[in-house]
């Protein structure tokens, strides 16, 4: 490591060097152009958000990644989220631990800046080494053949490009999305302005077209990606409450775009339970495999405390609403105990052994009654789960029962522990639209 300087981006000259690195590593894709556009234009991305490894002799940036800040909504709880994005190392400098070093600095930033989670869209089979695990579906492939779309679809609706006058409406659409799905994106006015004004000319990688579909009674929106996986026209966003009539208008519009752009089908990149997806299935669309966001929880105890209002609400709506217990997440090499008094989470602590947990319960005696202490010691309910499956169950991607089928090391030891697990972490639908 003596041949390298590890630092953050400082000026426009660093941007030029980053552009060269990313264009060389990802050639022929112009990822360096994307990085440059992000550097100068992406809301919330600071110069200090670029993590850099620079070769001392040449001054060349040979490895880098960006911390892209997001806001996600977890059933009303705002999660401070950091995406590890645009990750690359020059081929001649690979296998020297540069990205490992940058990732360690990235992790320190997650902790010091109180990020609740970190996400990544990256390549399969690599980022689990950094603690990122597949947890929320995305990049869906629901393929609608053009012959399934009725010719006279939604004639009552007008479809036009969205503009800045629609931003408040679009922000409200994000809020409506959060009422249907557990984890969703929360985009600011500036982020929506960026999305609407970004074109293929200035940002070819993620640019999309936002449209408004409306008549005198209803107003909805949808997005067409200009690039992405597959040969079809990619419909990547839509109002969560879009009506079947408006959906028909959208598909009719997409059919005409397919003809103009020589696309063989419409690829619906939405959750399978989204309203537009359900209409597509009714027309004859066929599902295909989806990818998934990889998620890292840098501090599990802090995260549990952050989402405790959601967990307590789930308890209050169940037969376990007045429970007093220790709920233990046994990850085999470590454990996290969640202390619950009368349905309220009072503490969450990491341990290496059950003996450490018992010591903490002793220390809680000053805050709880003797009766509560006795009941807590009697009710220790354990979920045995490997670290890689923890985000999967916390975010509701899979139920306990489904996880056990292919990961038998994910299990509870008593019916009460199973019931508590299913109450706190039920299987839920989530879908995260992109913020850029």
pLDDT digits (tens, 9 = 90+) for 328-385: 999 999 999 999 999 999 999 998 766 676 666 666 767 788 888 888 889 999 999 9
Contact 403, 370 (CB under 8 A): no
Chain center to CA of 202: 25
Where residue 202 falls among pLDDT bands split at 50, 70, 90?
A: confident
Same fold, 141-289 and 299-386+411-424: no
| pTM of the predicted model as reported, rounded to 2 decimal places | 0.94
- The CATH number corresponding to 299-386+411-424 among 3.10.450, 3.30.420, 3.40.50, 1.10.3720 equals 3.30.420
Q: For the domain bounded by 4-134, which CATH number is listed?
A: 3.40.630.30
CB 134 within 8 A of CB 148: no
**pLDDT given at position 139:** 95
Q: For the chain, how far is it from start to end, CA to CA, in angstroms?
A: 34
Tokens of 184: 């969703």
Q: Is the pLDDT of residue 204 over 80?
A: no
C-alpha span between 195 and 435 (Å, rounded):
8
Distance CA 247, CA 67 (A): 36
CA 391 – CA 77 distance, rounded (Å): 16
Q: What is the pLDDT of residue 357?
A: 66
Angle at 427 (CA atoms; ends 381, 181), nearest 5 degrees: 130
Query: How many whole angstroms from its chain centre is CA 402?
Result: 21
Over residues 129-144, mean pLDDT: 96
Domain ranges in the chain?
4-134, 141-289, 299-386+411-424
Question: Alpha-carbon distance 29 to 24, whole Å?
Answer: 9
Domain 141-289 has CATH 3.40.630.30: yes
Express each pLDDT in 49-84 by its tens digit. 999 999 999 999 999 999 999 999 999 999 999 999
């Amino acid at each position: 490591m003596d041949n390298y300087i590890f630092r953050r981006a400082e000026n426009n000259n660093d941007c030029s060097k980053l552009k060269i690195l990313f264009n060389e590593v990802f050639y022929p894709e112009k990822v360096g152009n994307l990085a440059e556009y992000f550097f100068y234009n992406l809301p919330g991305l600071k110069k200090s958000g670029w993590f850099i490894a620079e070769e001392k002799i040449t001054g060349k940036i040979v490895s880098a990644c960006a911390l892209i800040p997001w806001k996600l909504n977890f059933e009303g709880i705002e999660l401070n989220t950091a995406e590890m994005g645009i990750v690359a190392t020059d081929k001649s400098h690979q296998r020297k631990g540069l990205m490992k070093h940058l990732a360690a600095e990235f992790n320190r930033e997650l902790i010091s800046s109180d990020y609740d989670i970190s996400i990544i869209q990256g390549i399969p089979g690599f980022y689990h080494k950094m603690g990122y695990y597949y947890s929320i579906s995305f990049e869906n492939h629901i393929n609608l053949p053009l012959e399934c779309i009725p010719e006279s679809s939604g004639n009552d609706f007008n479809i036009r490009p969205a503009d800045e006058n629609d931003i408040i409406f679009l922000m409200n659409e994000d809020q409506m999305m959060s009422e249907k799905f557990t984890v969703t994106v929360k985009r600011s006015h500036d982020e929506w302005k960026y999305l609407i004004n970004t074109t293929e000319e200035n940002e070819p990688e993620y640019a999309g077209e936002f449209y408004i579909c409306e008549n005198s009674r209803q107003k909805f929106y949808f997005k067409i990606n200009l690039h992405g996986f597959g040969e079809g026209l990619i419909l990547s966003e839509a109002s969560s409450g879009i009506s079947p009539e408006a959906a028909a208008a959208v598909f009719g519009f997409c059919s005409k775009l397919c003809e103009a752009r020589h696309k063989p089908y419409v690829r619906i990149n939405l959750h399978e339970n989204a309203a537009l997806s359900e209409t597509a299935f009714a027309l004859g669309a066929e599902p295909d495999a989806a990818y998934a966001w990889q998620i890292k929880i840098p501090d599990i105890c802090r995260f549990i405390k952050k989402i405790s209002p959601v967990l307590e609400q789930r308890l209050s709506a169940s037969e376990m609403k007045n429970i007093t217990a220790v709920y233990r997440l046994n990850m085999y090499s470590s454990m996290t105990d969640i202390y619950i008094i009368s349905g309220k989470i009072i503490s969450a602590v990491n341990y290496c052994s059950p003996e450490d947990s018992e010591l903490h319960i002793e220390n809680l005696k000053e805050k709880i009654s003797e009766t509560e202490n006795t009941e807590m010691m009697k009710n220790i309910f354990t979920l045995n789960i490997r670290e890689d499956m923890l985000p999967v169950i916390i975010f509701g991607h899979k139920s306990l029962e489904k996880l056990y089928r292919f990961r038998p090391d994910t299990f509870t030891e008593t019916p009460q522990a199973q019931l508590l697990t299913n109450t706190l972490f039920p299987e839920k639908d989530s879908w995260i639209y992109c913020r850029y």
